[in-house]
Amino acid sequence: MAERHVKVESVVGLHSRPAAEFVKTAAKAPMDVSIGRFTGESVNAKSILAVLALDARHGEQLRLRAEGDGAEEILDALAKVIAEPDA
């Protein structure tokens, strides 16, 4: 299982626009992808409602996970969406 830790850089958190871009990127993956907090709460990264329900705020650390062929590449792309909100 591949894993990335990423900090939410957007000053408004992972709100609708960056969340939609995040889910769009996650949907390209042929494997299950999850996003969550270090407290154990994680959700399906391909679900816009689940990602928005996380209510991830500016400066918060999140954990991304995926398993399978291409996991490293998809996690890199997802981390970029969160770490570079205006890219």
Per CATH, which fold does 2-83 belong to? Histidine-containing Protein; Chain: A; (3.30.1340)
Per-10-residue mean pLDDT, the chain, length 87: 93 90 96 93 95 94 95 96 76
Q: Which of 69, 40, 39, 37 is nearest to 54 (CA)?
A: 37
Q: CA-CA distance, 28 to 37, in Å (whole number)?
A: 22
Instruction: Kindly name the residue from 2, 9, 15, 83 that is annotated as catalytic.
Output: 15
The structure's pTM equals: 0.91
Does 15 participate in catalysis according to the annotation? yes
Q: Cα 35 to the chain's mean position, in Å? A: 5
The pLDDT, as a whole number, for residue 41 is 82
Structure tokens at 86: 């205006």
Contact of 84 with 22, CB cutoff 8 Å: no
Q: CA-CA distance, 18 to 4, in Å (whole number)?
A: 18
Domain range annotation of the chain:
2-83
